[in-house]
Amino acid sequence: AQKVTQAQTEISVVEKEDVTLDCVYETRDTTYYLFWYKQPPSGELVFLIRRNSFDEQNEISGRYSWNFQKSTSSFNFTITASQVVDSAVYFCALSEPYGGATNKLIFGTGTLLAVQP
Amino acid sequence: DTEVTQTPKHLVMGMTNKKSLKCEQHMGHRAMYWYKQKAKKPPELMFVYSYEKLSINESVPSRFSPECPNSSLLNLHLHALQPEDSALYLCASSQDGGGGYQPQHFGDGTRLSIL
């Protein structure tokens, strides 16, 4: 069965520190997609990144970077020089295709990141 | 601002009331989703509509009744809810193309409290 594990329940850092959020997944599919979402206190889940199983290139977007390693089934997320606005719950998710126009997201339990000023 | 709009933002209702949650998107997406999220938990999928037809029902109790009047709108009709149904209800949409590739885009949610 598909599964996503985010072992870090809560992380607290001081502003400007770097922080890495871990994500480990399990799937039997050879083609799959991984996502990271951010959920600030307002409630909306904000899509951050998608990665497919064929592309192991790391990606950087501003202060955000992602490290995808198929060999260890991990898709970790690093925030460089964290800011208070980064405080949120971060979810890693694995997509389970249903065909047609739908897909089902298997979410990890989330990591609450608190960035202190 | 989110491109998926949910109304109302907050709802308080009694166990005998009937109410509806509404969701709207104008991104041309052909799949729409309802999720339930309890505090400190990940979202749980409830329903999926694909091309305006119900494609997934995750064994949700019948007191929750989804409706997709057109490709831009999604409703969730509520009746005789229980206190444990108090939660954040999130709507999402994704483009067609399938295969799990398309990201889901979420609204701000409706915070529902059952008295």
Per-residue model confidence as pLDDT tens digits over B65-88 = 999 999 999 999 999 999 999 999
Best CA proximity match to A113, nearest among A39, A48, A54: A39
Cβ contacts of B90 on chain A, cutoff 8 Å: 43, 45
Residues of A with CB below 8 A from B68's CB? none
- Work out the mean pLDDT of chain B and round it to a whole number: 92
Beta bridge partners of A102: A99
Contact A16, A85 (CB under 8 A): no
The one-letter code for the residue type at A116 is Q
Tell me the nearest-neighbour CA distance from A18 into chain B, angstroms.
24
The pLDDT, as a whole number, for residue A30 is 85
One-letter amino acid at A97 equals P
Chain B residues closer than 8 Å to A100 by CB? 31, 50-51, 55, 96, 98
Q: Does the structure show a pLDDT above 60 at B1?
A: no
Contact between chains at A100 and B96 (C-beta distance less than 8 A): yes
pLDDT at B23 over 90: yes
Kindly state the DSSP code that residue A31 receives in the 8-state scheme: S
Residues B84-109: pLDDT tens digits? 999 999 999 998 755 577 889 999 99
Residues of chain A with pLDDT under 70: 97-102
